[in-house]
């Protein structure tokens, strides 16, 4: 498997509890091989005509292009935000063994 078949998905959550629950769900359901949960993110953003300043938790989700649609659907269903940040990035390169591991762990 080459790195271009993987996706690194960025997701923000309002707190550690929501982030951890979502991370466990994605890995348990084989939608992700690994989710890094990074607390202490400060997000400043425009929302409905005002500037918001919020503490959030960032998730770095490692998955495959094949699992991306189901992963996105699960996040949308489980996430408390009206419009959650869900951005899928395609790596240009990666360690072959790691790429194979991600593929193996997300195979149904």
Using an 8 Å Cβ cutoff, are 60 and 36 in contact?
A: yes
List, edge to edge, every strand of the sheet that includes 50-64.
34-47, 50-64, 6-13, 86-89
Q: Which residues of the chain have pLDDT under 70?
A: none
Structural domain span for residue 78: 3-105
User: In the prediction, which pLDDT does 66 show?
Assistant: 97
pTM reported for the whole predicted model: 0.95
Q: What's the CATH code of the domain at 49?
A: 3.30.70.120
Number of domain units in the chain: 1
């Amino acid at each position: 498997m080459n790195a271009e078949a993987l996706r690194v998905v960025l997701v923000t959550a309002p707190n550690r509890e929501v982030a951890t629950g979502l991370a466990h769900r994605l890995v348990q359901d084989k939608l992700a091989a690994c989710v890094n949960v990074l607390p202490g993110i400060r997000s400043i953003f425009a929302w409905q005509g005002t500037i918001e300043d919020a503490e959030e938790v960032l998730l770095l989700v490692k998955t495959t292009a094949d699992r991306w649609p189901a992963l996105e659907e699960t996040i949308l269903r489980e996430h408390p935000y009206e419009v959650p940040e869900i951005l899928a990035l395609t790596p240009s390169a990666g360690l072959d063994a790691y790429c194979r591991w991600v593929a193996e762990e997300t195979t149904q």
